[in-house]
Amino acid sequence: MSRRRVVAVVGGAVVLLVALSVLVPGSPTRAFVRGAVHAQCHTWVGDEGDRSLAVYGDSISHADSEPRFGFHGRRSWYSALVCSDRFTDGGNAAVPGETSAEVLARLAADAPQVDVLVVQAGTNDLRLGVPTEETVANLREAVRLAQEAAGTVVLTTVQPWHDTDATELNDAVRRLAAEADVELVDFAGVLGDRRLTRDGVHPLPAGAHELARLVAEATT
């Protein structure tokens, strides 16, 4: 067999193996392809905004914001803002499943310094049956710390977990935002539209873009 034919056969085998590896769960090539297919933007493309943005929250804000091979996902309102060049990436510190107490603890430990900081928490409190008074106390302290960390602070309303009622909590959140003189963004008003979520709680791309629009308007 000629050298050229050997190279062609070996090259073809490598390409075939790489293509087949896309079918293997957890493989790097599968992650890359999924990231590319669902990419909203690339971390290495575009100009950075003038202000840094950070968020402390739960899975509603985390979504698929963690870049895979440099690709941001399409279900993250945070990524939508960073990728739009409105803000620099100050850090998406949202962690799926966290309660307001856990969000508060991380915010206190991190002591970030950014231009805009969004506090988004409470859905998992409702899921776990945390008393409203306890959630509000955690959010109040988180807002206080956020005001020390950022020039602009945004507090969001709470999207209820399945079969829970967030009315009392959101009334308290609105009062807290007014008392603390911080921006309020109605996440629950967007996520209450089932067409904008994948499960009644977590945003689809259209929902993420609507949340991003509201945060952008509140911080302009």
Residue-wise pLDDT tens digits, 35-84:
444 444 654 444 466 899 999 999 999 986 555 555 566 678 998 898 88
Report the CATH number that the domain containing residue 134 is assigned in CATH: 3.40.50.1110
- Rounded distance between C-alpha atoms, residue 138 and residue 121, angstroms: 9
**Do 97 and 13 sit in the same domain of this protein?**
no
9 and 112 fall within a common domain = no
Are residues 201 and 143 part of one domain?
yes
User: Residue 46: its pLDDT value, please?
Assistant: 46
Do 79 and 22 share a structural domain?
no
User: Which amino acid, one-letter code, is at 177?
Assistant: A
Q: Are residues 19 and 92 in the same domain?
A: no
Helices (H), the chain: 3-21, 28-37, 59-62, 77-83, 100-110, 123-128, 132-149, 167-180, 187-191, 205-218
Same domain, 63 and 153: yes
Distance CA 61, CA 83 (A): 15
Statement to judge: residues 6 and 28 lie in one domain: yes
User: Does 51 share its domain with 144?
Assistant: yes
Q: pLDDT digits over 90-99, tens only?
A: 989 999 999 9
Are both 50 and 141 inside the same structural domain? yes
Which tens digit of pLDDT belongs to each residue from 111-151?
999 999 999 999 999 999 999 999 999 999 999 999 999 99
Q: How far apart are CA 132 and CA 169, in angstroms?
A: 6
Residue 26 is predicted with a pLDDT of 55
Direct distance between the N- and C-terminal alpha carbons of the chain, in angstroms, rounded to an integer: 68
Same domain, 145 and 204: yes
Same domain, 100 and 208: yes
* The Cα angle at residue 126 between residues 197 and 181, in degrees rounded to 5: 85
**Structural domain count of the chain:** 2
Rounded Cα distance, 26 and 112, in Å: 33
Given a cut of 90, whether residue 10 has pLDDT beyond it is no
Give pLDDT, residue 94.
94
Residue 10: which domain range?
A: 1-37
pTM of the model: 0.78
